[in-house]
Amino acid sequence: MSPVTEAVRLCGHLPLAITLLAARLSHHPAWEIASFTAEFATAQDRLSELEAGNRAVAAAFDLSYNALPAHLQHFFRRLGLHPGPDIDPYATAALTDTPLARARRHLDTLYTDHLIEEPAPRRYRLHDLLRQYAHALTAHDPEEARTQATQRLVTYYTHTTQTADQHLNTTPRHHMRTTTAPSSAPKLATREDALAWIRTECHNLFAFAHHTQPTYLIALADAMATYLRAQGPWDQAATLHQAAATTAHNTNDRLGEAHALQDLGIVRRMTGEYAEAAKLSEQALDLYRTLGHRLDEANTLQDLGRVRRTTGEYAEAAKLSEQALDLYRALGDRLGEAHALKELGRVRWTPGEYAKATELVEQALNLYRTLGDGLGEAKTLQDLGIVRRMTGEYTEATELGEQALDLYRTLGHRPGEANTLQDLAIVRRMTGEYTEATELGEQALDLYRTLGDRLGEANTLKALGRVRRMTGKYTEATELGEQALNLYRTLGHRPGEANTLQALGCVRRMTGEYAKAIELGEEARNLYRTLGHRPGEAHTLLDLSVLRSQMGNVTDGMELAAQSLDLFRGIGDVQGEAKALKIAGDLQADSGQPQQALASYEEALLLARQVRSPLGEAHALEGAARCQARTDAQAAIISLREAVAIYQRIGAAETPTATEYLARLEAEQA
């Protein structure tokens, strides 16, 4: 924007203000327009900057204001008390203590007289100069009248936000005391109505939260908590909840303090501050137990369990979720029971207990559907999709993920949308659709960064790095992996750290840096074992088996591959089993056991086709071709042609090597 355009904007496009500003500039020819505009933009009192005797802008405003009848003058002054960026007729009715229809008429009159703007239908605002003018006029009104007007307005905002929260909040808990209903309020009959209203008013709610009495600050922060978790920005949410917690503590409002601490703990977990999140949840838990609020106690046990699961403390996470489940059932709270079952399912799948995880999550899904909880249903569909992906059922994983994504978007739940985009990106990567995987991952990354979700950002950077590695872009893969690793370590997220160490080890192996690859792999393996994370341990054993063989120790490599295969079979990971069989085949072929190798490749091929893994299928076909080439060149060529076609279709890094080998075989048979 040019300095002239900016100056005109700061004058509110008011002809008199623009004329006066131009006159000041012409009177000082040495002044630069850019410097003067910057100074004008930061002026505390722009009206004084435009004074020019009887032609002052303030004087012009006086003429317009004095032309209004007394009741409209009073109405205009009240608008100067509003701290937010804009206002609608409902809030205006509360602020001015007038019926809704009359408030609308008065707003239309002020708009016609160019004293207010209408940037969107039925949204009104004062230009900065007029806002400053109106605010100065309010100083002449009695303090009690100003206080009553502001109190009516904040009561309206708090009550309507609490009404909206009833549609948005699916976590059962004892809510803060409700405020008095205003004389006029928008009808929020559905979740969509509630979401649209609070999204539109969010800037005004933040403005009032920082300009109101302690009771209203605490209640407003409580009512905004669910929306802010779903929509962000989380840094502003944390500031709001911290202010509410401090205010509640200072006013001896122990229930308000417990709610604010719990909400703040959830936001800290979402931004990856796990130690602080655990501390806050424990403080809230102690308060709820002291107050005898058993439902809130159950909710906080759940929150604390999520922190423990995220940091890899699975036994403690399971214990906390089971305590919450028992409490919900004792209270007859079926929605809370569904939440606890879903969380227990997540605790079970992480160390590889897929059958138990599926059973728990399906119980939760049935409960959510019975209760008509769309958000719970979306989260549970997403969880089931993850379990299906982990067991290699990619078609089902995609279907479930897409159902969840549609629900999240309908509900306006942005964290869920980002998480599901990331889940679908992983499925695309595992089925060799690398372009689609990258597109979905980048969409998720943008959403995570908008929300301030550092864990989501780390997960997506790691996943995008794997796509780069699988398409042979090793430098980019390393850069993305190291960014993710730094984030995980900053967050204290040990499962993510282990997973990224393993991924970086694979890149080092592919670039021939075997010693560094071994170091990274062993570090990842030790972390997985400490966490009790069996799928991660199995994959790392497999990576180490390849490394040992490439370094000349085939016997150790085969032993590690066998251990990995046993682990994959024990946890029901079909995709992992197929990968382990393929690598076992490679090692058997290298050690002069072609028949055993061919059998391993054929078994791996069947499993890869079963789980729709084109890369796994191509790997098994290429391995089989290398064995067949010794005794049946034509069979080898058929297998290799199929593998090359798959590599080319998915843009795999193995394409050039496989293509060259195929050309050599065909030339030998020509």
Instruction: Answer yes or no: is pLDDT of 14 > 60.
Output: no
The verdict on residue 226 lying in a domain is yes
The model's confidence at residue 49, banded by pLDDT at 50, 70 and 90, is very low
Position 46 scores a pLDDT of 46
Across the chain, which distance is largest between two alpha carbons, in Å?
105
Residue of higher predicted confidence among 27 and 582: 582
Cβ atoms of residues 474 and 507 within 8 Å: yes
Residues 263 and 136 occupy one common structural domain = no
Last residue of a domain, one of 359, 393, 427: 393
Q: Which CATH number covers residue 91?
A: 1.10.10.10
Residue of higher predicted confidence among 471 and 174: 471
Distances (CA, A) of 172 to 281, 335, 450, 656: 17, 7, 28, 57
Spacing of C-alpha 613 from chain mean position: 28
Position 409 scores a pLDDT of 93
Cα(270)–Cα(265) distance, rounded to whole angstroms?
A: 9
Residues 164 and 236 occupy one common structural domain = yes
Cα(177)–Cα(179) distance, rounded to whole angstroms?
A: 7
The verdict on residue 381 lying in a domain is yes
The verdict on residue 12 lying in a domain is yes
Instruction: Answer yes or no: is pLDDT of 613 > 80.
Output: no
Domain interval for residue 80: 72-141
The model's confidence at residue 389, banded by pLDDT at 50, 70 and 90, is confident
The verdict on residue 490 lying in a domain is no
Tell me whether residue 494 is exposed, middle or buried, using C-beta atoms within 10 angstroms of its C-beta: 0 to 12, 13 to 18, 19 or more.
buried
Chain segment 646-670, per-residue pLDDT in tens: 888 877 778 888 899 889 988 888 6
Last residue of a domain, one of 376, 393, 410: 393
Residues 131 and 222 occupy one common structural domain = no
Residues 15 and 98 occupy one common structural domain = no
Arithmetic mean of pLDDT, 488-496: 86
Residues 55 and 82 occupy one common structural domain = no
Query: DSSP alpha helices (H): ranges in 232-313?
Result: 234-250, 254-270, 274-291, 294-310
Residue where the block lists tokens 């997540």: 346
The verdict on residue 132 lying in a domain is yes
pTM here is 0.63
The verdict on residue 295 lying in a domain is yes
Chain segment 277-291, per-residue pLDDT in tens: 999 999 999 999 999
Residues 385 and 253 occupy one common structural domain = yes
Which of helix, strand or coil describes residue 123?
A: strand
The verdict on residue 429 lying in a domain is no
Chain segment 83-128, per-residue pLDDT in tens: 888 999 999 999 999 999 999 999 999 888 778 888 889 999 887 7
Comparing C-alpha atoms, which of 280, 209, 273, 269 is closest to residue 239? 209
Arithmetic mean of pLDDT, 599-613: 85
The verdict on residue 499 lying in a domain is no
Residues 212 and 266 occupy one common structural domain = yes
Residues 268 and 198 occupy one common structural domain = yes
Averaged confidence pLDDT in the chain: 85
Position 371 scores a pLDDT of 93
Chain segment 215-261, per-residue pLDDT in tens: 888 988 998 898 888 777 788 889 999 999 999 999 999 999 999 99
Residues 274 and 366 occupy one common structural domain = yes
Tell me whether residue 298 is exposed, middle or buried, using C-beta atoms within 10 angstroms of its C-beta: 0 to 12, 13 to 18, 19 or more.
buried
Percent of the chain whose pLDDT exceeds 90: 40
Last residue of a domain, one of 366, 393, 420: 393
How many Cα atoms occupy the beta-carbon half-sphere of 194 within 13 Å?
21
Instruction: Answer yes or no: is pLDDT of 163 > 50.
Output: yes
Comparing C-alpha atoms, which of 103, 85, 78, 262 is closest to residue 153? 78
Query: DSSP alpha helices (H): ranges in 431-513?
Result: 434-451, 454-470, 474-491, 494-510
Structural domain count of the chain: 3
Instruction: Answer yes or no: is pLDDT of 476 > 50.
Output: yes
Q: Which CATH number covers residue 262?
A: 1.25.40.10
Chain segment 177-226, per-residue pLDDT in tens: 667 778 888 999 888 898 889 999 989 998 888 777 778 889 889 988 98
Residues 174 and 38 occupy one common structural domain = no
Position 102 scores a pLDDT of 95
Structure tokens at 293: 């609020």
Instruction: Answer yes or no: is pLDDT of 16 > 50.
Output: no
